Amino acid sequence: MHLSHKPGEVMQVDWADDTAAVIDTDTGEIIPAYVFVATLPYSGYSYVEAFFSMNQESWTTAHVNAYKYFGGVTRIIQCDNLKTDVQKHGKDEVVLNKSYQDLALLIKHTTTYKGLKPLYSEYKKSRDKEKYLRGREREIILFEASARALKAAGVGDKLPDLAKLREEYSRLSEEKDRLYAEYGSLKKRMREYDAVKQNIDSILSPNRGQEQDKAL
């Protein structure tokens, strides 16, 4: 879908996915540099600057320097990639949480089923089921509930391998922690972005009326 832009209306900003490398000439140490990119979509003009940190001070400085370079102030600052990443990670976390919870229930019901199967078999074979049930009713109810849950999950006569289930559960747990940390980091960056945008607006607003007329 083609998007039309007005001149001087929008500046798109974000950190580049890949870092640059700066070599310390004294020590030979390779230092990563984070690349800020600002683009005016109407003209296609871009501004690029490298920083040693992606903190709020660097983020603010990059915006101010970009506006100085372009010679004017846009009405809108867009950071669409960051917002998209936040939304994507949120959706990924929801999907992973569902898989994580489903697997936890599968492990629980498989463990219960295996543990109580001998008792349930004795119950089914007993001649006086009411007598056998006394004192064991809770275990029988738990077994039957687990059997129904496993059937609803599509488990047939052959039960899942508990060791493999626990291994997968551990993997999902690590992935869940990783996604949660990334999502939290992205949300923090979004809050910083909103704060920086407000700061830049307040810093540059006195000249906005004049500079908005400049062609970007």
Determine which helix (DSSP H) or strand (DSSP E) holds 122, and give its type and residue range.
helix 80-125
Question: Domain count of the chain?
Answer: 2
In a domain, 152, yes or no: yes
Q: Are residues 138 and 155 in the same domain?
A: yes
Cβ atoms of 207 and 64 closer than 8 Å: no
Q: Are residues 88 and 175 in the same domain?
A: yes
- Collect all residues with Cβ–Cβ distance below 8 Å to 15 and sequence separation of at least 6: 34, 35, 36, 37, 54
Q: Are residues 89 and 163 in the same domain?
A: yes
Q: What is the pTM of this model?
A: 0.43
Residue 107 pLDDT level (bands cut at 50, 70, 90): confident
Whole-number average pLDDT of the chain: 78
Q: Which tens digits make up the pLDDT trace of 15-64?
A: 888 888 888 888 888 999 999 999 998 888 999 999 998 877 888 788 88
In a domain, 56, yes or no: yes
The boundaries of the domain holding residue 124 are 83-184
